[in-house]
Amino acid sequence: MRRMSFAYGREKFLPLVLITFVGVLVTKDISVFVDESGSFDPDERSSRFYIVCFVLHDQEKSISPWVEKLEEYFTDHGLQPGHCVHAGPLIRREGEYSDMLREDRQAIFRKMMAFIRNADIEYTCFVVDKHFDNSDNAIHDKLLQDINRFLVSHASDFNACGRLKVYYDNGQMQVKSLLREAFAMFSSIVEFVPNVHPEDYRLFQAADLICTMELIAAKMESGALSISEHRFFGSERDFRRNVLKQLRQKAI
């Protein structure tokens, strides 16, 4: 795992403390967008893997140009302004995408991938294989152990920021509780943002897409792509080359 760097342009260095003209120290804010995929239920056979994804963003780095490009594309192609991208239904042709041609859905996917590549963000995922951790407590303990290890290894980065803002939509109560346990070590700076809705944050949608891709990658290592995944991505080689390789350039 490479060290979290909070890249500026092509140069990478540790988070800065900015000095104002009056000599007051002002520190930057770091956002952590959290999404999950899978079920905590150890008996849920359709989801062998459980994944929690963190997307990290230094709020000093504007993503507005890339958000604007995304919005422009959606508007130009007949989608509602602020269209919320849901990666799973997009791939499986479900819900609002049920009447959409594969080529159009793939175009939306490529635009989201371009947004992730261009936005100054990084991510990490925590994966539990329920074949080995096969109880609620085991899943919780494995996730907490891995998340704590990540947070401790980057503690100096996080402690250098002014606020550590965690965005989660409280989709699963187990994850809500887990996050509060894990981030307790940063109690003086952590803020759990209330009333988070995926449609309000492009970075939340990015976390959803990344989480979905890493879930597909985990399933692929233990089996194969589903029929809908094959139709959408092509072969496993195509998925690794065209999606996973590009995405993991943002992994830490």
Q: What is the CATH number of the domain that holds 202?
A: 3.30.420
Closest Cα to residue 158, out of 223, 244, 252? Answer: 252
8 lies in some domain: no
Checking if the pLDDT of 233 tops 90, the result is yes
Checking if the pLDDT of 9 tops 50, the result is no
Checking if the pLDDT of 11 tops 60, the result is no
64 lies in some domain: yes
Mean pLDDT of the chain: 88
Q: Which residue has better confidence, 15 or 142?
A: 142
Q: What's the whole-model pTM score?
A: 0.88
157 lies in some domain: yes
2 lies in some domain: no
Domain of 131, in residue numbers: 17-250
6 lies in some domain: no
Domain count of the fold of the chain: 1
Interval 10-18 mean pLDDT: 36
Give the pLDDT of residue 4.
54
Checking if the pLDDT of 242 tops 50, the result is yes
189 lies in some domain: yes
113 lies in some domain: yes
4 lies in some domain: no
Dump pLDDT digits (tens) for 131-182: 888 888 999 999 999 999 999 999 999 999 999 999 999 999 999 999 999 9
Checking if the pLDDT of 29 tops 60, the result is yes
CA dihedral 123, 54, 140, 191 (to 10 degrees): 150
6-20, 42-56, 193-207: which has the minimum mean pLDDT?
Answer: 6-20
